[in-house]
Structure 1
Amino acid sequence: MSEDTTLNYRGRKASRARSEQRRRAILEASLRIVVADGVRGIRHRAVAKEANVPLSATTYYFKDISDLIADTFILFAENAMNDVLDPIYKNVGEFIGEHKAYVGSSTETNNRVVEALAMMIVAFLKHELTEKRDHMIAEQAFKHECLRDSRLREVAKAYFEYLMSEMTELCRVIGVADPDIAGELLIGTLDRLEHEALMVPVEEFDEQRANKIMQRQLRAFL
């Protein structure tokens, strides 16, 4: 996670390491509930039971349930940036770095780069579906909750700006015109593919179709 993407927790701060461990356990339990039951499943009693802590512990750190929800979203965002987004952008960035000198040299070269890049992006999507599915479900849950709860939008704004800035930078590096617009279009395409993929069993994910869609978008930019 970049240093300028700082998310500030709202609940009571922990003063000791053991206290911080309990607070973290509460948030991790809350995040598991989001995956299983959605954001509206976050309630003090449910979280305390899931975290195996006294009810007084959840109310001590989070008197307001909205703070518990917001801090759970922040934990999700931090985990997503560090464990999911950064590795993906690092690998895609390295690929582009190796091939950017050849982009634009010929239609044939562009096609090869587009095919390889699309395959890489779809492979990461498939990996998320099999290994990081909980992350994808939580992201969708928080997106929808932001429509109901305006207090979550500050966290959402920081998270999605980070997501967008990295994609925009990748577009800029390979010389795409209007990289900010191209980045938005690519993120929108990926979001749609992720949502569709979550609607079916993993084995029914149509990688070939996803590849064609990503290639079509990338070819339009190049």
Structure 2
Amino acid sequence: MGTEPIQTRSRQRRDALLDAAIELLGEGGGKSVTHRAVAIRAGLPPSTATYFFASIQDLTEQALARHLQARVAEIESAMAALFSQSHSLVDVADLFAAFMLARPKKAAISHHEVYLEASRNPSLRAAVAEALEGFERLATSVLTTLGVAEPERASVAFLAAVDGFILRQLADPRDHAEAVRLLSETLRQLFIAFTLDPGERAAAHARLAAPRTFTP
């Protein structure tokens, strides 16, 4: 019983360090994540990060895993609330677009910096790949509930569209309401493509396959 407060404080300090590492990663990339910088950002003595994490690699890997797991849980909770009621695909597109674009700018930057850091550091890719698989499983479950054809394939396109749109919004922000409208419209178009029946899809593919003359 007497050790519980110590264990709680230890866990809180460790979590604070992991959160601080993600903040720094979002602000300056992997080079900004040092033991000293992370401890200072967490409001802890400079030696604290070294005590909990022997290497920056270990600290970064655990910070990424914590961040991505939290994001999966956040989206899962939002989707559970969304599907507590009956909605049309149009409603889902509107609600999901609003939810995805509601994150603070710094949080969105940190999330995408996680992906970029994994591209630079191969040892981090397993954690990111695991999280992406979690996002895809969640999206597949949602799209299956909505009656979308080939939900596994659709989930990849769905998530790529959302990530790409958010990245574009970070680089060149639009008015928030306009951004939500455009993302919702994009998701609706994806829903249309993946809810066509086989005959409609074959006809659409035939139109796309027809030769055209393009003028530069």
Which bin holds the TM-score, normalised by the shorter protein? 0.7 to 0.9
Q: Quick check: 1:64 aligned with 2:39?
A: no
Aligned-pair CA distance for 1:221: 1.4
- In the other structure, the counterpart of 2:214 is none
TM-score (normalised: structure 1) = 0.77
Q: Quick check: 1:157 aligned with 2:129?
A: yes
1:37-116 paired onto structure 2 within 5 Å: 37-82=28-73, 84-95=74-85, 98-99=86-87, 113-116=88-91
Aligned-pair CA distance for 1:144: 0.7
How many angstroms apart in 2 are the aligned matches of 1:43 and 1:126?
30
How many angstroms apart in 1 are the aligned matches of 2:50 and 2:144?
47
How many angstroms apart in 2 are the aligned matches of 1:30 and 1:140?
14
Aligned 8 A contact 1:146 1:156 in 2: yes
Aligned-pair CA distance for 1:33: 1.2
- In the other structure, the counterpart of 2:207 is none
Aligned-pair CA distance for 1:175: 2.4
How many angstroms apart in 2 are the aligned matches of 1:147 and 1:88?
28
How many angstroms apart in 1 are the aligned matches of 2:44 and 2:79?
37
- In the other structure, the counterpart of 1:206 is 179
| Matched letter for residue 10 of structure 2 | S
Aligned-pair CA distance for 1:202: 6.0
| Matched letter for residue 207 of structure 1 | V
Q: Quick check: 1:24 aligned with 2:24?
A: no
Aligned 8 A contact 1:114 1:219 in 2: no
| Matched letter for residue 130 of structure 2 | A
TM-score (normalised: structure 2) = 0.79
How many angstroms apart in 2 are the aligned matches of 1:88 and 1:164?
15
Greater relative CO (CA pairs within 8 A, separation 6+): 1
Aligned-pair CA distance for 1:162: 0.8
When Rg is computed on C-alpha atoms for both structures, the one with the higher figure is 2
Aligned 8 A contact 1:80 1:135 in 2: no
> Which ranges in structure 2 are unaligned for 5 or more consecutive residues?
1-5, 196-216
- In the other structure, the counterpart of 1:221 is 194
How many angstroms apart in 2 are the aligned matches of 1:92 and 1:221?
21
Cα pair distance change 1:173/1:50, threshold 3 Å: same
How many angstroms apart in 1 are the aligned matches of 2:183 and 2:135?
20
Q: CA RMSD in A?
A: 2.0
Aligned residue for 1:54, secondary structure, equals: coil
Identical columns (%): 23
- In the other structure, the counterpart of 1:140 is 112
1:1-16 paired onto structure 2 within 5 Å: 16=7
- In the other structure, the counterpart of 2:139 is 167
